[in-house]
């Protein structure tokens, strides 16, 4: 008791002698400490998501996710988090990550009942686009306007553009064959991916395959992820973070690319002929209209849609081809079977590039390889949160989730869940997707999340698949590749889009026609 009185007297004496500023700062400091203690206690024990396990820091701040993203290994680290805490993990004050296939439908296949969360605000570069918009009515309108230009039949009119850029890729490979030099196939495919996507999106040949210059497209994903994960602080975050040199460089990179894109769109608008069949995605965007109202896209909306297709489509597609070709050539049995299937289905030295139509039905084993590479190394390994808006909450699998929670599935974790794929989930086994094989299960296809699922899945997936099929079949039919280091482990650098760490150096020679 005497000690207590001494403490009170000490405080009273300090207050009597302290300046008003010192007293004010002390009150503010104590208030801040009290608020923080109360906030942490609430988040840990009384928040509606407190019952879900997860890292301590994740429960109190979204900066935990930003830190994990900064390691450039977010998917791998998230998989470890699920291994430690279980199938449903709290990864933010209001965020849950699910690693069960039963969560796909209730999160991603219920449309406007569970719309995209605030995370997507971080990806808006000009006006909301088909990927970033959280407005389900606007998304439905965009699908009606743009969707017809993204069908396989519409893309057939654009196939000559693919053929032109694949021809340039073949010329580059021929140069290495004739010189007997090692080819970095990762770089070659990245340059092709940028050129073909830029040509489709902006009707402009950026000629990257000739110059060897590739803009840092991953910066847009990294910036979008950072802003998206901290979206509750926007727009203040955008203002403050722009003062940081690293973020400033990311913003400058995005703005430089936007200026190039806007100039290309403006030029195409001035010379566009509405009567001609669209030979590029940009032409399809200019022609696009709502079949019900006739409403067309504004110039800003065309800029936004073309920009997102360039950024989202070029590197993800080339990176997917890199993963596919790496896994094929690291497995002698697989590549032997691939070549045998190619020679049986496409005998002789046929014209190249190959026509896209019917390749998937003629080449079922290569189709299985594509699907297995999607499973092994999904290139768009993003947290894609959708928000529970029903006041009664939502039932996701065996879990009840309250209103306001953001729920997501990370493709890498789902694709490597041993309870789904078995203890050999880290092994490349295309037979998982080959009917009749002991490894095959018909439900596996419904658990692939490479393009997402539901009405908000990747709108440009047909463009990606056309590139993958045409390029991979052309290369494997006409060349023999060999990894310089066949024992190399495939590791991805993750900025929101996966990119193989280091080059993919290969020896290459022409195949003899069979």
CATH number at residue 260: 1.10.630.10
Assign 203 a pLDDT band (cuts: 50, 70, 90): confident
What token pair was written down for 16? 């009597």
Distance from C-alpha of 23 to C-alpha of 21, rounded to nearest angstrom: 5
What token pair was written down for 225? 């992820």
Residue 223 lies in a domain: yes
Residue 26 lies in a domain: no
> What pLDDT is stored for residue 268 in this prediction?
78
Instruction: Please state the domain count of the chain.
Output: 1
Distance from C-alpha of 284 to C-alpha of 263, rounded to nearest angstrom: 18
Distance from C-alpha of 66 to C-alpha of 47, rounded to nearest angstrom: 22
The predicted-structure confidence for 61-103, as pLDDT tens digits, reads as follows: 988 988 898 888 999 999 999 999 999 999 999 999 999 999 9
> What pLDDT is stored for residue 204 in this prediction?
81
Residues whose CB falls within 8 Å of the CB of residue 301, separated by 6 or more in sequence, listed in order = 127, 129
**Per-residue pLDDT at 14 exceeds 60:** no
**Per-residue pLDDT at 385 exceeds 60:** yes
Residue 295 lies in a domain: yes
> What pLDDT is stored for residue 233 in this prediction?
59
- Which sign, positive or negative, has the C-alpha torsion 439, 440, 441, 444? positive
Assign 122 a pLDDT band (cuts: 50, 70, 90): confident
Write the DSSP string, 146-163: HGGGGSHHHHHTTHHHHH
The predicted-structure confidence for 224-273, as pLDDT tens digits, reads as follows: 666 666 666 555 665 666 566 766 676 677 777 777 778 778 877 777 66
Mean pLDDT calculated for residue range 415-439: 97
More confident of the two residues 20 and 23: 20
Residue 12 lies in a domain: no
Mean pLDDT calculated for residue range 358-374: 97
What token pair was written down for 462? 């047909």
- Within 13 A of 230's CA, how many CA atoms are on the CB side? 20
Residue 271 lies in a domain: yes
> What pLDDT is stored for residue 234 in this prediction?
55
Residue 21 lies in a domain: no
Distance from C-alpha of 194 to C-alpha of 207, rounded to nearest angstrom: 9
Give the lowest-confidence range in 4-8, 205-209, 297-301, 342-346: 4-8
> What pLDDT is stored for residue 66 in this prediction?
85
Show the CA angle centred on residue 407, arms to residues 43 and 310, nearest 5°: 125
Assign 285 a pLDDT band (cuts: 50, 70, 90): confident
Assign 393 a pLDDT band (cuts: 50, 70, 90): very high
Maximum pairwise Cα distance, the chain = 100
Residues whose CB falls within 8 Å of the CB of residue 264, separated by 6 or more in sequence, listed in order = 202, 203, 204, 282, 306
Distance from C-alpha of 225 to C-alpha of 383, rounded to nearest angstrom: 9
Residue 28 lies in a domain: no
**Per-residue pLDDT at 406 exceeds 60:** yes
Domain range spanning residue 112? 47-510
> What pLDDT is stored for residue 241 in this prediction?
61
458 labelled binding-site residue: yes
The model's pTM is 0.89
Give the lowest-confidence range in 61-75, 342-356, 387-401: 342-356
Residue 375 lies in a domain: yes
């Amino acid at each position: 008791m005497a000690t207590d009185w001494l403490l009170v007297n000490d405080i009273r004496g300090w207050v009597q002698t302290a300046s008003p500023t010192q007293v004010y700062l002390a009150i503010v400091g104590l208030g801040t400490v009290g608020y923080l203690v109360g906030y942490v206690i609430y988040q840990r024990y009384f928040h509606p998501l407190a019952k879900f396990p997860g890292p301590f820091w994740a429960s109190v701040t979204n900066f935990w996710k930003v830190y994990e993203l900064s390691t450039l290994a977010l998917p791998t680290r998230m998989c470890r988090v699920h291994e430690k805490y279980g199938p449903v993990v709290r990864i933010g004050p209001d965020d849950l990550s699910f690693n069960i296939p039963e969560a796909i439908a209730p999160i991603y296949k219920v449309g406007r009942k569970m719309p995209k969360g605030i995370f997507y605000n971080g990806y808006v570069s000009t006006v909301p686009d088909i990927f970033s918009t959280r407005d389900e009515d606007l998304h439905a309108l965009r699908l009606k306007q743009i969707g017809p230009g993204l069908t396989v039949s519409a893309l057939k009119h654009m196939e000559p553009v693919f053929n032109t850029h694949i021809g340039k890729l073949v010329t580059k490979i021929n140069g290495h064959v004739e010189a007997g030099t090692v080819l970095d196939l990762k770089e070659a495919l990245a340059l092709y991916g940028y050129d073909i996507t830029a040509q489709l999106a902006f009707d402009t040949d950026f000629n990257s395959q000739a110059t060897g210059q590739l803009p840092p497209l991953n910066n847009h994903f990294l910036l979008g992820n950072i802003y998206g994960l901290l979206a509750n602080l926007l727009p203040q975050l955008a203002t403050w973070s722009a003062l940081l040199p690293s973020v400033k460089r990311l913003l400058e990179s995005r703005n430089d690319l936007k200026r190039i894109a806007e100039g290309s769109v403006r030029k195409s608008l001035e010379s566009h002929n509405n009567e001609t069949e669209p030979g590029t995605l940009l032409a399809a965007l200019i022609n696009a209209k709502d079949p019900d109202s006739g409403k067309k896209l504004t110039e800003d909306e065309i800029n936004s849609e073309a920009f997102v297709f360039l950024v989202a489509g070029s590197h993800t597609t080339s990176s997917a081809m890199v993963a596919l070709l790496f896994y094929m050539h690291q497995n002698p049995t697989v590549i032997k079977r691939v070549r045998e299937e190619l020679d049986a289905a496409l005998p002789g030295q046929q014209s190249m590039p190959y026509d896209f139509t019917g390749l998937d039905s003629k080449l079922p084993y290569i189709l299985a390889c594509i699907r297995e590479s999607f499973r092994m190394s999904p290139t768009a390994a993003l947290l894609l949160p959708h928000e529970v808006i029903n006041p009664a909450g939502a039932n996701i699998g065996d879990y009840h989730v309250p209103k306001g929670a953001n729920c997501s599935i990370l493709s890498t974790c789902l694709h490597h869940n041993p309870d789904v794929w078995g203890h050999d989930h880290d092994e490349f086994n295309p037979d998982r997707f080959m009917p009749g094989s002991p490894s095959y299960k018909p439900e596996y296809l419904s658990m692939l999340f490479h393009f997402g699922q539901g009405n908000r899945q990747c709108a440009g997936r047909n463009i990606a698949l056309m590139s993958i099929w045409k390029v991979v079949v052309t290369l494997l039919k006409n060349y023999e590749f060999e990894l310089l280091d066949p024992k190399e482990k495939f590791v991805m650098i993750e900025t929101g889009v996966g990119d193989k760490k280091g080059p993919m150096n290969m020896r290459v020679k022409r195949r003899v026609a069979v």
